[in-house]
Amino acid sequence: MNEPLAERIRPKTLEEYISQQHLVGTHGSLTNQIKKGIIPSLILWGPPGTGKTTLANIIANESERPFYTLSAINSGVKDIREVIEKAKQSGGLFTAKNPILFIDEIHRFSKSQQDSLLAAVEKGWVTLIGATTENPSFEVIPALLSRCQVYVLNAFGKEDLEALLKRAMEQDSVLRTKKIKLEETEALLRLSGGDGRKLLNIFELLINSEETDTVTITDSLVMGKVQKNTVLYDKTGEQHYDIISAFIKSIRGSDPNGAVYWLARMIEGGEDVKFIARRMLISASEDIGLANPTALVIANATFQAVTTIGYPEARIILSQCAIYLATSPKSNASYMAIKKAQQKVRETGDLSVPLALRNAPTKLMKDLGYGEEYKYAHDYNNNFVIAEYLPEEIVGSAFYQPGSNQREKAIKDFLRNRWKDKYEL
């Protein structure tokens, strides 16, 4: 049988669907919508092998809607228009159950291709379901994104992966003819990287590689059969995340050699230039921050440059940026400041803005005291005056603690000079 195991046991109903309970469990955010057939246009965002395509099919089946599918890899604007025209004829504006148009890897669509979907989504000719492994905020145009709800799918956990193996052994007509014993599963689960499809592919490879119908799965069997066949760099799998992690940690650790090596691994593996540049943008702020504010400027310029140029020349720009970031002084003070501030907000809720800080565009607001006691800093010496800018309930809270690098030492002196003993710096 040529059909892969993952396809043979693909679930057809919500009851059969494994994982993503936050979306399709008893109290999932999509459960009632699916059962009622009231489906908005949506984007399913998650790692490979987490059930995005399966969920789209189940939504169509459960809501009894016509289902059209396109792959962003091999579809152009002409294909999109043809499918939309078919969808309009089979349903659309004059029926409550308008067709579903599923687009796999929607992040690969160009701006013009995404633009061609707008009218169909806006006018209700189709309900769009897009699947993507990349952040929709960066890869989907704002006009289309604003017309869709975004739902996040998580990588499969251990229990989910074990449930997949159990289903495969119980339901698949091929595997049921064999005597399979899961003696050890740690290596199998680890190699899957939370990717259900990859797990089933490896599992099927192991079963098919044995000459007898009796198969005992052990960690040594898995590593012996599979590890030598593992690709050098899988830009949609576990190594995608491991290598970018090693790359960023090399930058954070101020090791340009490590940074360039892991960069080379990604480039040789065909990693998306925008993905690499985007992660350096984040690192420039999270790991370097105010110790060298120019790092963010360099990283942003890198992102814009490689987006325009592409490979192979983009590798030179990426290397320059990686080395610059790795050799910059480091500070996570800005990152920790917003982290602490967000935690305080979660703990204290929506505290009232002090009257002195409120905007007073109307006479009524002025009569109520809005902005009345506000001290305009530019009216005072050195453009500064002691005042309180936090809600009364958290007065004295300090979120930003300057780092010990040269630039932030100057910031620390500035704050001490202004605030005296107000904050402990």
Question: Edge-to-edge strand order for the sheet containing 100-104?
Answer: 67-71, 100-104, 127-132, 42-45, 149-152
Q: What integer pLDDT is reported at residue 372 of this predicted model? A: 79
Neighbours of 241 (CB within 10 A): 13
The packing angle between helices 196-209 and 219-226, to 10°, is 90
CATH class, domain 158-229, is mainly alpha
Locate the domains of the chain by residue range: 20-152, 158-229, 238-326, 344-419
pLDDT tens per residue across span 150-170: 999 998 999 999 999 999 999
Amino acid at 233: Y
User: Cα separation of 330 and 288, whole Å?
Assistant: 4
CA–CA distance, 297 with 30 (Å, rounded to integer): 40
Q: Can you list the positions of beta strands (E) in 153-211? A: 179-182
Distance of CA 67 to the CA centre of its chain: 26
The predicted pLDDT at position 129 comes to: 95
Provide the CATH topology of domain 20-152: Rossmann fold (3.40.50)
CA 22 to chain centre: 16
Return the CATH fold of 238-326. Answer: Zinc Finger, Delta Prime; domain 3 (1.20.272)
Whether domain 344-419 has CATH 1.10.3710.10: yes
Q: Taking the model in full, what pTM does it have?
A: 0.62
Alpha-carbon gap, residue 60 to 422, rounded angstroms = 60
**DSSP letter string over 99-112?**
PEEEEETGGGS-HH
Q: Among all chains, which residue has been given the structure tokens 């970018």? A: 244
- Burial of residue 49 (CB within 10 Å: 0-12, 13-18, 19+) is buried
pLDDT value for 421: 62
Q: Give the β-pairing of 149-152 and 42-45.
A: parallel
Dihedral (CA of 73, 77, 80, 86) sign:
negative
Contacts 24+ apart (CB under 8 A), 304-311: 306/273, 306/274, 306/276, 306/277, 307/273, 307/274, 307/277, 310/273, 311/267, 311/273
Residues of the chain with pLDDT under 50: 92-96, 229, 231-232
86-108 burial code (b ≥16 CB/10 A, e <16): ebbeebbeeeeebbbbbbbbbbb
Angle formed by the axes of helices 256-268 and 314-326, to 10°?
Answer: 150
Q: What pLDDT is stored for residue 94 in this prediction?
A: 42
Q: Residue 130: which H helix or E strand, with range?
A: strand 127-132
End-to-end CA distance of the chain: 69
